[in-house]
Amino acid sequence: MRTRRTAKLATGEATVDLNSAGSTKNLEISNPEASLAATTRQTRLSFRVSKAQVPVPPSDKLQRQEDVADTVALEPPTKRRRITQSNELASSDSLPVTQEAKVVKAESTPATDTSKPAVRKLLVIKGLVTKDGISQKVAAAIEVDTTQILDPDFKMQIKRGPSNPSGLTPGFSPYIYRKQPTPEACEEVYRILAQAHGEVKPPGVIPPASLEVAGCGEVPCLMDALVRTLISGNTMMPLANKAIQNVAKHYGVSELGTGAGSINWDKVRLGSHEELVGQVKVAGSGPTKAKNMKTILDMVYQENLEMMPKGAPRGPVVLALDHLRHMSKDDALARLVAYPGIGIKTAACVTLFCLQIPVWAVDTHVLRFCQWLGWVPHRADADNCFRHGDVKVPDHLKYGLHQLFIRHGQQCFKCRKATRAGTKEWREAPDCPLEHLLDRRKDGNEVAEEA
């Protein structure tokens, strides 16, 4: 028994013939305009269009789908897409189809929320590269120059904690989008400064400690280097030299260990706090420096006692940190900054000059030149300059560039801290050999960023 059902549509009628089992035999559409509406109704009846049939070559259909797919793939990733069913083939009398064909059409609508500022984003598709509007598959890795897209001044937040109070980031720069300095840029700056001030290389043998000059830790004894560098911090070198002379005269000279010929730091440990303040106050922050010095000396003394073999006869304990020489650079830095009053700058100087391990030590001259050269943002502080430069500057240039930046900053009139561009003295001064590389508008006088 055959049944006949009629579906009322908005634009006409569609008559469907069914067999007794309910399967579709034929679908007659009395109004051609109702075909599109019929295809959109949610019905369980599978049907086919019985109108005039014009075959579509499969290759053309596939080509159209590929063209549309390419159009979708090349759309900017920041736009939304709505996938809709095209009604061009269904509503046109000139292009009826015999098969159920879905043509995908991409419609791009711009984002309507303009209240928030634009955020720079980078979309990387693995194995796909787009050039001149053509997408191609590639097997090799894709290298993207993020400095053209992302902010090179962006800084990652530095995590601190009980185990890392100074925020050391071994092998990692907080300025993840900054390419400078490249090895080539470092080589060029070193070459220019070496022509002006001479070659600078690390010494093969560290010279003996001086009782007249504080220095920056370039002495044989690691204990001596640490305390000397602590005294010379945050002050001018003539004042630090005067403090070292006072301490050496008051406490005498040691005759034991690697520190023989230098200051007797064990007598400093046994002396009173007020006595030590009187000797180092000329270098500034006398009470604070004296407190940190005595605490460090007590800590090193206890460490040396713990490292002595059990049952061994106890003789005079020599204050020494020679066990740090067997550590890696990162471990030695982490151990040094654990002492009170020792920051990244002091630890880096001791590691570079006494341990003779390549590390990027940053003082005021080094920081200023790194800002002018664009190696770090102009608001970067010394600690972030260390974190970035220790990753970017080649190891064989770290000692030489540190020393040359200091020499050039002291001798070049235009690179001294107290000089300013535009003055009569500035115009009459000789040109700086680095002038074509420097951006002095960013002179670092703004408030430095927090690490």
Quote the percentage of the chain above a pLDDT of 90.
Answer: 46
- Provide the pLDDT for residue 165: 87
Rounded Cα–Cα distance for residues 213 and 235 (Å): 14
Rounded Cα–Cα distance for residues 434 and 372 (Å): 10
Region 99-112: what's the mean pLDDT?
A: 39
- Provide the pLDDT for residue 148: 59
Q: Taking every pair of C-alpha atoms in the chain, what is the biggest distance, in angstroms?
A: 123
pLDDT at 180 over 80: yes
CB of 102 closer than 8 Å to CB of 40: no
- Provide the pLDDT for residue 173: 94
Grouping H, G, I as helix, E, B as strand and the rest as coil, residue 418 is coil
Token pair recorded at residue 129: 């590269």
Rounded Cα–Cα distance for residues 404 and 393 (Å): 14
Q: What is the pLDDT of residues 39-63, one digit of tens each?
A: 444 444 444 444 444 454 554 544 5
Q: What is the pLDDT of residues 215-271, one digit of tens each?
A: 888 899 999 999 999 999 888 889 999 999 999 999 999 888 888 889 999 999 999
- Provide the pLDDT for residue 132: 64
- Label residue 105 by pLDDT band (50, 70, 90): very low
Rounded Cα–Cα distance for residues 20 and 1 (Å): 5
Rounded Cα–Cα distance for residues 112 and 5 (Å): 47
CB of 232 closer than 8 Å to CB of 215: yes
Residue in the structure block whose two tokens are 């063209």: 67
Q: What is the pLDDT of residues 395-410, one digit of tens each?
A: 999 999 999 999 999 9
Question: What are the φ/ψ torsions at residue 297 (nearest 5 degrees)?
Answer: -65, -40
Q: What is the pLDDT of residues 416-429, one digit of tens each?
A: 877 877 788 888 89
Q: How far is CA 284 from CA 138, 289, 362, in A?
A: 62, 8, 21
Average pLDDT, the chain: 76
Q: Greater confidence, 67 or 333?
A: 333
Region 176-190: what's the mean pLDDT?
A: 94
**Direct distance between the N- and C-terminal alpha carbons of the chain, in angstroms, rounded to an integer:** 86
The model's pTM is: 0.66
Question: What are the φ/ψ torsions at residue 14 (nearest 5 degrees)?
Answer: -125, 120
- Provide the pLDDT for residue 412: 93
- Provide the pLDDT for residue 135: 62
pLDDT at 208 over 60: yes
- 418's CB contacts (< 8 A; 6+ apart) are none
Q: Which of 392, 358, 357, 385 is nearest to 371 (CA)?
A: 385
Domains of the chain (ranges, CATH numbers):
58-107 (no CATH), 183-437 (1.10.340.30)
Grouping H, G, I as helix, E, B as strand and the rest as coil, residue 344 is helix
CB of 101 closer than 8 Å to CB of 62: no
Average the pLDDT over each of 147-161, 271-285, 303-317, 372-386 and give the range with the smallest value.
Answer: 303-317
Grouping H, G, I as helix, E, B as strand and the rest as coil, residue 24 is strand
Region 73-93: what's the mean pLDDT?
A: 44
Q: What is the pLDDT of residues 281-319, one digit of tens each?
A: 999 999 999 999 999 999 999 998 888 887 766 666 778
Region 327-346: what's the mean pLDDT?
A: 94
pLDDT at 374 over 70: yes
Q: Strand locations in 101-216, DSSP E?
A: 104-109, 128-131, 134-137
Sign for the pseudo-dihedral over CA of 189, 372, 382, 220 = positive
- Strands 80-85 and 24-29 come out as unpaired
Q: Which of 120, 98, 24 is nearest to 54 (CA)?
A: 98
pLDDT at 354 over 80: yes
Q: C-alpha angle with apex 210: 206 to 215, nearest 5 degrees?
A: 75
- Label residue 356 by pLDDT band (50, 70, 90): very high
- Strands 3-8 and 104-109 come out as unpaired
- Provide the pLDDT for residue 216: 82
pLDDT at 147 over 60: no
- Provide the pLDDT for residue 302: 92
Host H or E run for residue 85:
strand 80-85
Q: Greater confidence, 316 or 182?
A: 182
pLDDT at 103 over 50: no
